Amino acid sequence: MGERLDAQLAFLLEADRLKGVERRNRVLAGERRENTAEHSWHLALFGLVLAEHSDEPVDAGRVVRMLLLHDLVEIDAGDTFAYDVEAMATKVDRERAAADRIFGLLPADQGAVLRALWDEFEAAETADARFANAVDRLQPVLLNHAAQGASWQEHGVTAGRIREVNGRIAHASASLWAAAQVRIDDAVARGYVDEG
Protein backbone atom coordinates (compact mmCIF):
# COMPACT_ATOMS: atom_id res chain seq x y z
CA MET A 1 0.00 0.00 0.00
CA GLY A 2 3.00 2.34 0.46
CA GLU A 3 3.61 3.12 -3.23
CA ARG A 4 -0.09 3.52 -3.95
CA LEU A 5 -0.57 5.90 -1.03
CA ASP A 6 2.57 7.84 -1.97
CA ALA A 7 1.23 8.30 -5.51
CA GLN A 8 -2.17 9.43 -4.24
CA LEU A 9 -0.60 11.92 -1.83
CA ALA A 10 1.67 13.26 -4.61
CA PHE A 11 -1.41 13.79 -6.79
CA LEU A 12 -3.25 15.59 -3.99
CA LEU A 13 -0.29 17.86 -3.30
CA GLU A 14 -0.03 18.62 -7.02
CA ALA A 15 -3.73 19.56 -7.01
CA ASP A 16 -2.92 22.24 -4.42
CA ARG A 17 -1.22 24.16 -7.24
CA LEU A 18 -4.73 25.06 -8.51
CA LYS A 19 -4.84 27.66 -5.75
CA GLY A 20 -2.14 29.57 -7.62
CA VAL A 21 -3.86 29.57 -11.04
CA GLU A 22 -5.57 32.93 -11.39
CA ARG A 23 -8.68 33.24 -13.54
CA ARG A 24 -10.07 36.31 -15.29
CA ASN A 25 -13.32 36.33 -13.28
CA ARG A 26 -13.52 38.23 -10.06
CA VAL A 27 -14.94 36.90 -6.80
CA LEU A 28 -18.39 38.19 -5.86
CA ALA A 29 -17.13 41.25 -4.01
CA GLY A 30 -15.01 42.08 -7.07
CA GLU A 31 -11.87 43.01 -5.17
CA ARG A 32 -9.73 40.20 -6.60
CA ARG A 33 -9.71 37.48 -9.21
CA GLU A 34 -10.80 33.98 -8.28
CA ASN A 35 -8.35 31.12 -8.51
CA THR A 36 -9.08 27.81 -10.18
CA ALA A 37 -9.37 25.88 -6.91
CA GLU A 38 -12.07 28.29 -5.74
CA HIS A 39 -13.78 28.00 -9.11
CA SER A 40 -13.80 24.19 -8.95
CA TRP A 41 -15.20 24.16 -5.41
CA HIS A 42 -17.88 26.67 -6.36
CA LEU A 43 -18.83 24.64 -9.42
CA ALA A 44 -19.15 21.50 -7.30
CA LEU A 45 -21.75 23.37 -5.24
CA PHE A 46 -23.48 24.51 -8.44
CA GLY A 47 -23.69 20.91 -9.62
CA LEU A 48 -25.06 19.70 -6.32
CA VAL A 49 -27.59 22.49 -5.83
CA LEU A 50 -28.78 22.97 -9.41
CA ALA A 51 -28.98 19.34 -10.64
CA GLU A 52 -32.78 19.45 -10.50
CA HIS A 53 -32.70 22.07 -13.26
CA SER A 54 -31.16 19.75 -15.82
CA ASP A 55 -33.44 19.06 -18.77
CA GLU A 56 -32.40 15.39 -18.55
CA PRO A 57 -31.96 13.24 -15.45
CA VAL A 58 -28.41 13.52 -14.10
CA ASP A 59 -26.42 11.86 -11.37
CA ALA A 60 -25.45 14.83 -9.19
CA GLY A 61 -22.59 12.86 -7.64
CA ARG A 62 -21.02 12.20 -11.05
CA VAL A 63 -21.57 15.84 -12.04
CA VAL A 64 -19.80 17.00 -8.87
CA ARG A 65 -16.89 14.60 -9.49
CA MET A 66 -16.48 15.94 -13.03
CA LEU A 67 -16.57 19.52 -11.80
CA LEU A 68 -13.94 18.84 -9.14
CA LEU A 69 -11.65 17.29 -11.76
CA HIS A 70 -12.29 19.27 -14.92
CA ASP A 71 -9.86 22.13 -14.30
CA LEU A 72 -6.96 20.17 -12.78
CA VAL A 73 -5.31 20.52 -16.17
CA GLU A 74 -4.96 24.25 -15.55
CA ILE A 75 -2.01 23.40 -13.29
CA ASP A 76 0.00 22.97 -16.50
CA ALA A 77 -2.16 24.57 -19.19
CA GLY A 78 -3.24 27.67 -17.27
CA ASP A 79 -6.71 29.15 -17.40
CA THR A 80 -7.84 29.77 -20.96
CA PHE A 81 -10.16 32.77 -21.07
CA ALA A 82 -13.31 31.65 -22.87
CA TYR A 83 -13.35 34.82 -25.00
CA ASP A 84 -9.71 34.57 -26.15
CA VAL A 85 -9.97 33.10 -29.66
CA GLU A 86 -6.21 32.67 -30.11
CA ALA A 87 -5.73 30.83 -26.79
CA MET A 88 -8.81 28.68 -27.41
CA ALA A 89 -7.19 27.39 -30.63
CA THR A 90 -4.50 25.55 -28.63
CA LYS A 91 -6.54 24.72 -25.53
CA VAL A 92 -7.41 21.11 -26.38
CA ASP A 93 -3.81 20.06 -27.05
CA ARG A 94 -2.44 21.86 -23.99
CA GLU A 95 -5.07 20.40 -21.72
CA ARG A 96 -4.76 16.83 -23.03
CA ALA A 97 -1.01 16.89 -22.39
CA ALA A 98 -1.67 18.23 -18.90
CA ALA A 99 -4.28 15.52 -18.26
CA ASP A 100 -1.79 12.84 -19.31
CA ARG A 101 0.75 14.09 -16.78
CA ILE A 102 -1.54 14.95 -13.89
CA PHE A 103 -3.79 11.88 -13.93
CA GLY A 104 -0.65 9.84 -14.60
CA LEU A 105 0.56 10.73 -11.10
CA LEU A 106 -2.08 8.44 -9.62
CA PRO A 107 -1.98 4.65 -9.46
CA ALA A 108 -2.92 3.43 -12.95
CA ASP A 109 -6.38 2.07 -12.04
CA GLN A 110 -7.43 5.22 -10.19
CA GLY A 111 -5.85 7.54 -12.74
CA ALA A 112 -7.78 5.81 -15.53
CA VAL A 113 -11.11 6.25 -13.73
CA LEU A 114 -10.55 9.93 -13.03
CA ARG A 115 -9.16 10.56 -16.52
CA ALA A 116 -12.28 8.93 -17.99
CA LEU A 117 -14.44 11.39 -16.03
CA TRP A 118 -12.31 14.27 -17.31
CA ASP A 119 -12.60 12.97 -20.89
CA GLU A 120 -16.37 12.60 -20.48
CA PHE A 121 -16.64 16.21 -19.30
CA GLU A 122 -14.58 17.41 -22.25
CA ALA A 123 -16.65 15.44 -24.79
CA ALA A 124 -19.93 16.74 -23.31
CA GLU A 125 -21.87 13.88 -24.89
CA THR A 126 -23.64 12.50 -21.80
CA ALA A 127 -26.36 14.22 -19.79
CA ASP A 128 -24.03 14.44 -16.78
CA ALA A 129 -21.25 16.03 -18.83
CA ARG A 130 -23.57 18.45 -20.63
CA PHE A 131 -24.94 19.62 -17.30
CA ALA A 132 -21.45 19.94 -15.79
CA ASN A 133 -20.42 22.03 -18.80
CA ALA A 134 -23.55 24.16 -18.42
CA VAL A 135 -22.80 25.12 -14.82
CA ASP A 136 -19.16 25.69 -15.77
CA ARG A 137 -20.40 28.40 -18.13
CA LEU A 138 -23.15 29.72 -15.84
CA GLN A 139 -20.91 30.50 -12.87
CA PRO A 140 -18.70 33.04 -14.69
CA VAL A 141 -21.79 34.77 -16.10
CA LEU A 142 -23.20 35.14 -12.58
CA LEU A 143 -19.88 36.37 -11.15
CA ASN A 144 -19.34 38.84 -13.98
CA HIS A 145 -22.83 40.22 -13.60
CA ALA A 146 -22.42 40.53 -9.81
CA ALA A 147 -19.06 42.29 -10.31
CA GLN A 148 -20.72 44.81 -12.65
CA GLY A 149 -19.15 43.22 -15.71
CA ALA A 150 -15.59 43.94 -14.55
CA SER A 151 -13.77 41.23 -16.51
CA TRP A 152 -16.10 41.60 -19.50
CA GLN A 153 -15.29 45.32 -19.62
CA GLU A 154 -11.58 44.73 -19.09
CA HIS A 155 -11.47 42.52 -22.18
CA GLY A 156 -14.04 44.30 -24.35
CA VAL A 157 -16.50 41.40 -24.34
CA THR A 158 -19.94 42.19 -25.77
CA ALA A 159 -23.28 40.72 -24.80
CA GLY A 160 -23.47 39.04 -28.20
CA ARG A 161 -20.17 37.29 -27.58
CA ILE A 162 -21.26 36.32 -24.05
CA ARG A 163 -24.36 34.65 -25.49
CA GLU A 164 -22.34 32.92 -28.20
CA VAL A 165 -19.72 31.49 -25.82
CA ASN A 166 -22.20 30.48 -23.14
CA GLY A 167 -24.99 29.15 -25.35
CA ARG A 168 -24.05 25.59 -24.43
CA ILE A 169 -25.87 26.18 -21.15
CA ALA A 170 -29.06 25.71 -23.20
CA HIS A 171 -27.89 22.22 -24.26
CA ALA A 172 -28.46 21.03 -20.71
CA SER A 173 -30.94 23.37 -19.06
CA ALA A 174 -33.46 25.76 -20.56
CA SER A 175 -34.11 27.30 -17.14
CA LEU A 176 -30.42 27.95 -16.39
CA TRP A 177 -29.95 29.45 -19.86
CA ALA A 178 -32.97 31.70 -19.24
CA ALA A 179 -31.43 32.79 -15.91
CA ALA A 180 -28.12 33.54 -17.66
CA GLN A 181 -29.83 35.57 -20.34
CA VAL A 182 -31.69 37.64 -17.73
CA ARG A 183 -28.31 38.58 -16.25
CA ILE A 184 -26.77 39.30 -19.66
CA ASP A 185 -29.73 41.51 -20.60
CA ASP A 186 -29.47 43.28 -17.25
CA ALA A 187 -25.73 43.82 -17.81
CA VAL A 188 -26.57 45.56 -21.09
CA ALA A 189 -29.34 47.63 -19.48
CA ARG A 190 -27.01 48.76 -16.69
CA GLY A 191 -24.21 49.59 -19.13
CA TYR A 192 -21.83 46.87 -17.90
CA VAL A 193 -21.45 45.61 -21.48
CA ASP A 194 -22.40 46.73 -24.96
CA GLU A 195 -24.92 44.62 -26.87
CA GLY A 196 -22.50 44.01 -29.75
Tens place of pLDDT per residue across the chain (196 aa): 699 999 999 999 999 999 999 988 877 766 788 899 999 999 999 999 999 999 999 999 999 999 999 999 999 998 988 888 898 899 999 999 999 999 999 999 999 999 999 999 999 999 999 999 999 999 999 999 998 998 899 899 999 999 999 999 999 999 999 999 999 999 999 999 999 8
> What's the CA gap between 180 and 69, in Å, rounded?
24
CATH 1.10.3210.10 fits 2-189, yes or no: yes
d(CA 131, CA 55): 9
pLDDT score recorded for residue 168: 94
- Which pLDDT belongs to residue 1? 65
Q: What share of the chain is helix, strand, coil (3-state, %, to 5)?
A: 70, 5, 25
* CA-angle at 127, arms to 167 and 172, nearest 5°: 25
Looking at residue 27, its pLDDT comes to 77
Q: CA 103 to CA 80: how far, in whole Å?
A: 20
What are the structural domain ranges in the chain? 2-189
Tell me how far apart the alpha carbons of residues 172 and 106 are, in angstroms, rounded to a whole number: 31
pLDDT at position 28: 74
Separation between Cα atoms, residue 44 and residue 51, nearest integer Å: 11
Q: What is the chain's alpha carbon radius of gyration, rounded to the nearest angstrom?
A: 17
The confidence score (pLDDT) of residue 30 equals 65
Q: What is the pTM of this model?
A: 0.94
- Cβ-in-10-Å burial (0-12, 13-18, 19+) of 1 comes to exposed
**Which residues contact residue 153 at a Cβ distance below 8 angstroms, ignoring those fewer than 6 apart?**
192, 193
What is the CB-side half-sphere exposure of residue 35 using CA atoms within 13 A? 10
pLDDT for 40: 95
